[in-house]
Every structure is written in C-alpha cells, then in structure tokens.
Amino acid sequence: MNKVWQSVQHLEIGPGHHQQRLDNFLFTALKGLPKSRVYKLLRSGQIRVNKGRKKPDYRLNTGDMVRIPPVELVERDPGQVPDFLLEQVENAVLHEQDDFLVLNKPAGMPVHAGSGIRFGVIESLRQARPQEPMLELVHRLDRDTSGLLLIARNRPCMLKLHELFSSHEAISKSYQALVCGRWQGGEQLIDQPLQKNNLQGVERMVQVDPEGKPARSRFIPLHYTDRASLMEVEIYTGRTHQIRVHAVWAGHPIVGDRKYAEPGCNQFFKNLGYKRMFLHAHTLAFQLDQAYQFTAPLDPEWQRLLQQLDTL
C-alpha cells in the first residue's frame, strides 16, 4: 500500500534527533522512498532546512524546521514474524527500562534481516512490541554467537551507547568460549592486528595481518580437558570475528565455528549432537546515568556439554 503526502510538510526537529545527519533523518522520515530520490530532492532544493538548502551531512539542531515536498512513499510489508520467533525473542529479554533493553540472544538467531534471512532479533522485537516508538540495535553479535545484546528505546540513549562502544575503554565485555583441545600456555593476551578479506568468493574472512587494524583479546582458561577447554575472553577492541580469529591464531579454534575451526574438532562434537558454535557474550558493564552490569546465563545446551567434558 502506498502513502502519498499530497502537500508540503514541515517537520520540527525534536531533542531525539539533535545532531543527527540530515540524510539519515530523511531515510527514516521518508521510509519507502529510495535513497537516490532523497538525495535528488536535497540537490534540487526541494528539501530545505530553515528555508535554506543543506547538504546531506548537515547536523540537525533541536528546533530546526525541515521542509518536505509532496512525495509518494511505498510501504513494504515485511511479512509476519512466526509466532515461535516472537515468543523466543520476548523470552530472551533479561532486563528492560525506559531507555534500553538487554537480551540474551539465542545462538543461531541473526540480529537483523539480510542475506536471504527475513527476520532477525530486531524485526521480531518490533513486531512483538508494536507500541514502541523506537527499537534500534546498539551493537551486533554474529548469528551463531549467543549472549548479551543491547537495544536502544530512544535516540539519545542510542547515541550515548554508541559512543561508549566506540571508545572501548568505557565499556567492559567478556565472553565464554569453548575451544578445541587442551589450552596451552595459561592466561594469554593476544595482541594481533586483523584484516578483512574476501578470500572465499564473496564470503568475508578475517585473518591476522600486520597491515590490519589493532585487536587485543585476553584468553583466561577456566577448565581444561584434552578434547576442549572452557575460556573466559576479555576484549579491548571490537573487530569483526576478533575472538574467533585470535583463537585460531592461538591454535585452539572455537568449537562449532564453521568458518574458521578445523573439521575434525567440529565433527567430533557434531557426532555427539552439538551442531552450533560455542561462543557466548557473557558479561557487559558500562556507566550511563548509573553503573550497569549484566550477566547472561549459559543456555541448557552449553551447560549439558560442560557437564560432559570430563568424560569425553
């Protein structure tokens, strides 16, 4: 169904959009209008701010008036999220308050749609809570990684949390990981730069590379067996696949990692009925209006495998 704005609209910028880029504001306000069309309207001066032309990267201020010409917006129906996904994402909520939600994301659930996937955490959460004015991802987890995921409920909170995550020093994150084999060398700080490459066709891979971006992870062994070792991993940077690639560099890939782990290790655990990756975002601490600290419990499959480890 199409929505047509028959006349010129004037939108006043509220505090929630203060310092947002003009083009990003328009992509939301004119959802359904192609981005190329938005930029064309800006270039031609049909979209104006305070009666003047502005470039796409203009930072909006509270009280600005944005003029929007008559446009036709194509409303795309994303489809109905299956009931079991709605229930799963609601059951994953660990904590909620006015500004944000904290979820314990299940392994195997993507955080958003894309690459042939119709629904992720954020699409499911929005359909489960249609009354919410805003729900946005603060950060991301790999599809096969379980654990703590933050969702912002308003723009000011989202901007503050983005700033914390980008600084890394203002936020503390630790993971639990089950790695192949008996970990060697005790506690280890891995300070190895990482580089993204498209080595496998169109699939993105990450590897240790002196020309890459700095990446630091501390691996702390919690329990050893010959088949696998349980590790706590603290990260001081947030590179793509950081823990997974650093684990491979250390000679102990993560159990169930289909992209980086060795086939033999994965096959052993697959034969036992474990077909997922065992990496879990376990703790998260940060300072916002107050100090927050969250812990996501391991799911029953994790706990069952840990109980089996000493017998394997």
pLDDT tens, 236-293?
988 999 999 999 999 999 999 999 988 899 999 999 999 999 999 999 999 988 999 9
Q: What is the pLDDT of residue 76?
A: 55
Q: What is the pLDDT of residue 18?
A: 82
168-311 is a CATH 3.30.2350.10 domain: yes
Alpha carbons within 13 A on the beta-carbon side of 309? 21
Mean pLDDT of the chain: 89
Q: What is the pLDDT of residue 107?
A: 94
For residues 213 and 195, the answer to whether their CB atoms sit within 8 Å is: yes
Question: Which pairs with CB-CB distance under 8 Å and at least 24 residues apart come from 21-29?
Answer: 21/56, 21/57, 21/58, 21/59, 21/60, 22/49, 22/54, 22/55, 22/56, 22/57, 22/58, 22/59, 22/60, 22/66, 23/56, 23/57, 25/60, 25/66, 26/66, 29/66, 29/68
Q: CATH 3.10.290.10: which residues of the chain?
A: 2-74
Burial status of residue 255 (CB atoms within 10 A of its CB: 0-12, 13-18, 19 or more)? buried
**Residue 1 clears pLDDT 50, i.e. is over it:** no
Q: What is the pLDDT of residue 137?
A: 92
Domain covering 83-153 in this structure, CATH number = 3.30.70
- Residues 24-46 as b/e (b if ≥16 CB within 10 A, e otherwise) read ebbeebbeebeeeebeebbeeee
- pLDDT digits over 113-134, tens only? 876 778 889 999 999 999 998 8
- At residue 187, φ and ψ (nearest 5 deg) are -60, 135
- pLDDT digits over 161-219, tens only? 988 887 777 889 999 999 999 999 899 999 999 998 865 555 678 999 999 999 999 99
Q: Rounded to a whole number, what is the largest CA-CA distance in the chain?
A: 73
Q: What is the pLDDT of residue 5?
A: 57
Q: Which is it for strands 146-152 and 136-137: parallel, antiparallel or unpaired?
A: antiparallel
Query: pTM of this prediction?
Result: 0.79
Q: CATH 3.30.2350.10: which residues of the chain?
A: 168-311
Query: Is residue 257 annotated as a catalytic residue, yes or no?
Result: no
Task: Give me the catalytic one of 142, 209, 226, 257.
Answer: 142
DSSP run (H or E) holding 274: none
Q: CATH 3.30.70: which residues of the chain?
A: 83-153
In terms of CATH architecture, what is 2-74? Roll (3.10)
